[in-house]
Amino acid sequence: MAKVLIQSHLQAIADALGDTDTGLTGSEIAHLLRTCKIEDTAPTLTKRHRLYNAFAQCQNAKQDRVPILAFIRHAMKPARFIRQPERYEPMRANLNKALSFAGLAVEATGELVAVEQAQTLTQAQRRAHDLREDLELRNVHPDVVRFCREELLSENYFHAVLEATKSVADKLRMRTGLTDDGATLVDRALSGDKPLLAINAFATDNDKSEQRGFSNIVKGMFGMFRNPTAHAPKISWAVNKEDAEEVFTLLSMVHKRIDTAHMPPRV
């Protein structure tokens, strides 16, 4: 038996897509309805009512939600927003709140995927904002968030960790001029008797011990978080919200130490 969207889900989706501030324009709605072969039953109504009537009539006739999902996929293709990229994320966040009650979400790529169904308004709102707000409260370094902004917006914790870990390697290369990656980059930038970057005065035995410890932390971080996420299938390397928060906190500390590190004179 084909799946259908219940009335409240249809209404919420139509409201999001037809939102006055973040939704589709009237001409976009007309074009997308034609593209998806959905009859525009009430073109003179407000956008949200126009969409709801069109969706409801189509689903009632076909007893299937597929045409409505096709409309969403077409509407949320990132390429459609090339000239107005600032529209995409607010529209996607608003739509995802509505879709969460139907157990669906639009990822940053525009792909429509199944997610755990929200049962309350609080759950729906947290889907879009929870992790980002927690990171702000933790005062996580902005360079960590900058590298995984799209993944955070879609709550893709697996790839958010991967992208955020890359931010440390990027900063090490930027500070040193090296082109290496992974453990080799850490060894050349932070290890040895004359590291390119020192997180302290690098004068006493305690300084050198701290430097070695920091180098080992960064190297271990790459080995634990970057390599598994880069090579393991997502299904076999689960990353939940709590895991991601802990990784981002560690990454933030590493960024702050690299920011204040200096380059000892080469003699």
Share of residues in the chain with pLDDT > 70 (%): 85
Q: Tell me what the mean pLDDT of segment 205-224 comes to.
A: 92
Q: Which of 85, 119, 153 is the last residue of a domain?
A: 119
Inter-residue contact 111 to 78 (CB < 8 Å): no
- Residue 39 within a domain: yes
- Do 102 and 159 reside in the same domain of the chain? no
Q: Give φ, ψ of 206 to 5 degrees.
A: -65, -40
Residues 6+ apart with CB under 8 A from 209: none
**pLDDT tens digits for 150-178?**
566 555 677 778 888 888 999 999 999 99
Q: Choose between 205 and 245: higher pLDDT.
A: 205
- Do 151 and 251 reside in the same domain of the chain? yes
- Residue 66 within a domain: yes
Which of 137-146, 171-180, 183-192, 213-222 comes out lowest in average pLDDT? 137-146
- Do 85 and 142 reside in the same domain of the chain? no
Q: Name the pLDDT band for 247 (thresholds 50, 70, 90).
A: confident
**pLDDT tens digits for 49-103?**
999 999 999 999 999 999 999 999 999 999 999 998 888 888 888 898 899 888 8
- Residue 131 within a domain: no
Q: What pLDDT does 130 receive?
A: 54
- Do 99 and 189 reside in the same domain of the chain? no
Share of residues in the chain with pLDDT > 90 (%): 50
- Do 28 and 56 reside in the same domain of the chain? yes
Is a pLDDT exceeding 50 seen at residue 19? Answer: yes
Overall domain count for the chain: 2
Q: What pLDDT does 17 receive?
A: 96
The CB density around residue 26, as the number of other CB atoms within 10 Å, is 12
CA 98 to CA 95: how far, in whole Å?
5
Q: Name the pLDDT band for 190 (thresholds 50, 70, 90).
A: very high
Angle (nearest 5°) at CA 30 between 90 and 150: 20
Q: Name the pLDDT band for 234 (thresholds 50, 70, 90).
A: very low
- Residue 234 within a domain: yes
**pLDDT tens digits for 23-50?**
999 999 999 999 999 999 999 999 999 9
Q: What pLDDT does 230 receive?
A: 47
- Do 114 and 187 reside in the same domain of the chain? no
**0.95 exceeded by the pTM?**
no
- Residue 96 within a domain: yes
Q: Which of 27, 28, 30, 26 is nearest to 40 (CA)?
A: 30
- Do 86 and 151 reside in the same domain of the chain? no
Q: What pLDDT does 109 receive?
A: 82
Which residue range(s) make up the domain with 105? 7-119
